[in-house]
Structure 1
């Protein structure tokens, strides 16, 4: 029996989940009054999803093609067809479907009321309690910037050895996005930390599972030369980190987009 193709992978594992989440979004919007991250039917929400998806495609494409050229990963014989550059069309479809899947899941979750103001002084009431906005507004941004710089430095250091090259490529590539998101809006992300955590965790675990299936069936493969060899349950930690980081990009980007729109409203 022939191995599944990249296109069949999408039809089996991504498109059905997107369809179910779209149906759930419709029910949430029309049949319930539960407040969610966004009413999925509102055009402004999809403006945010479109922006995040476009950035994902533009930012990931050169990085992805470079790692393919370097031999960090490749694809099974006969399991991909049309290529744009070195990456198959299915790879670009993944760049689009993953943000949509994660955004639809995030749209089912609730947000805390209000936002800490970036430059507010003193204390403000929230939900019957008081919120110290000074500490949320200044210290986390600085620490977030330092943390993102540290991620980038570790990534650059890892690029110097073959066995940590893929790990380093992920960290160095992730650091600029994390720096922007954390310096701009870490207080808001911390304020909505439960939604951010749940928004990231569920799609990440699902993508870990289907990535493991794709590796097992040979749709794509990861070079042992450029990886640490640490692979819990057969999933290289580099792959696990990649999906964690990319879902973090999407969720943080959409939460911050919501914050910006709320401030303009």
Structure 2
């Protein structure tokens, strides 16, 4: 029964199985052959390293603050404030979205340019996202989690949009698909986990607004993190195509 799942068994079922299917499907279909394997492997490894390095301090702080907590018997091992499953979730999501992106992203178009004006606009837009987040952080307690996500996302968006905002806009329809599918899936399994009591979002630090029973903060988190990965990988391919 789902109610008997621990954090690790939850990941094995809801992350391990779809990832295995996705990897097997890509091998059988040989999709993504236009991209060298070393670039794909290197890209995934880079994403994992960056995801862990950037997320662990933020995640640990929010857990220590009590923004969310785990059900009884769900967590078996902790490293500092974070359960072992939390580290594995970061890795699993990163690999899942990365493999999906490499297999279904179109070939990079090196003809799309990027001016200094575009770079400035991208940085300003990212800073604006972060500023909104800081404002929410400093506001009522119920906007704390929402603000923490946006404040955390701002610097990454500023960097990515500064590097290639025009290219990301040029392939925006593809970005919507690449981001939308994992966001829907990850949000769905997160909804299952919350319903089964694996973890609980604090009503003190969240707005209480939900979509299909999922707190909007959780949906925003998966949107932001999936954008991190998808944008980074398509920009990596674009930069290689332009300068390789």
In the alignment, which residue of structure 2 is the partner of 1:175? 154
Deviations 1:66-101 (A, max 9, x none): 000100011111111111111100000011010111
TM-score, normalised via structure 1 length:
0.86
Q: Distance in 2 between matches of 1:23 and 1:239?
A: 29
Residue 52 (structure 2) pairs with residue 93 (structure 1): no
Deviation at 1:261, TM superposition (A): 2.1
> Residue 230 of structure 1 corresponds to which residue in structure 2?
209
Superposition misfits of 4+ residues, deviation over 3 angstroms: 36-39, 136-140
- Aligned partner of 1:149 among 107, 121, 127: 127
Aligned mates of 1:214, 1:224 — CA distance in 2: 17
The Cα shift of 1:4 comes to: 1.3
Rate the CA distance shift 1:38–1:169 in 2: closer, same or farther, 3 A: farther
SS of corresponding position for 1:74: strand
Q: 1:38 to 1:6 in 2, by over 3 A?
A: farther
Give unpaired runs (5+ residues) of structure 2: none
Partner Cα distance (2:143, 2:7) in 1: 27
TM-score, length of structure 2 as denominator length = 0.93
- Structure 1 contact 163–226 (Cα < 8 Å) conserved: yes
The alignment status of 1:103 with 2:98, answered yes or no, reads: yes
2:74 matched to which residue of 1?
Answer: 79
After the TM superposition, which residues 4-153 of structure 1 pair with which residues of structure 2 at under 5 Å, given as runs?
4-29=5-30, 36=32, 39=35, 42-111=37-106, 114-116=109-111, 118=113, 137-153=115-131
> Gapped runs of 5+ residues in structure 1?
119-135
Give 1:112 deviation, angstroms: 5.1
| Pair 1:251 & 2:230 matched | yes
> Larger radius of gyration, structure 1 or 2?
1
Q: Which residue of 2 aligns with 1:131?
A: none
Contact 1:69 1:86 in 2 (8 A): yes
8 Å CA contact retained: 1:116, 1:188: no
How far apart, in 1, do the equivalents of 2:78 and 2:227 lie? 28
| Deviation, structure 1 residue 43 | 1.4
Q: Is the 8 A contact 2:108 2:241 kept in 1?
A: no
**Per the alignment, in what secondary structure is the counterpart of residue 4 of structure 2?**
coil
Tell me if structure 2 keeps the 8 A contact 1:7–1:90.
yes
CA RMSD of aligned residues (A): 1.8
The change in CA–CA distance for 1:202 and 1:37 in structure 2 (over 3 A counts) is: farther
Equivalent pair of 1:68/1:74 in contact (CA under 8 Å)? yes
CA contact (8 A) 1:152 1:172 kept: yes
Distance in 2, Cα, partners of 1:48 & 1:37: 15
Q: Is the 8 A contact 1:200 1:251 kept in 2?
A: yes
Q: 1:151·1:175 contact (CA, 8 Å) conserved in 2?
A: yes
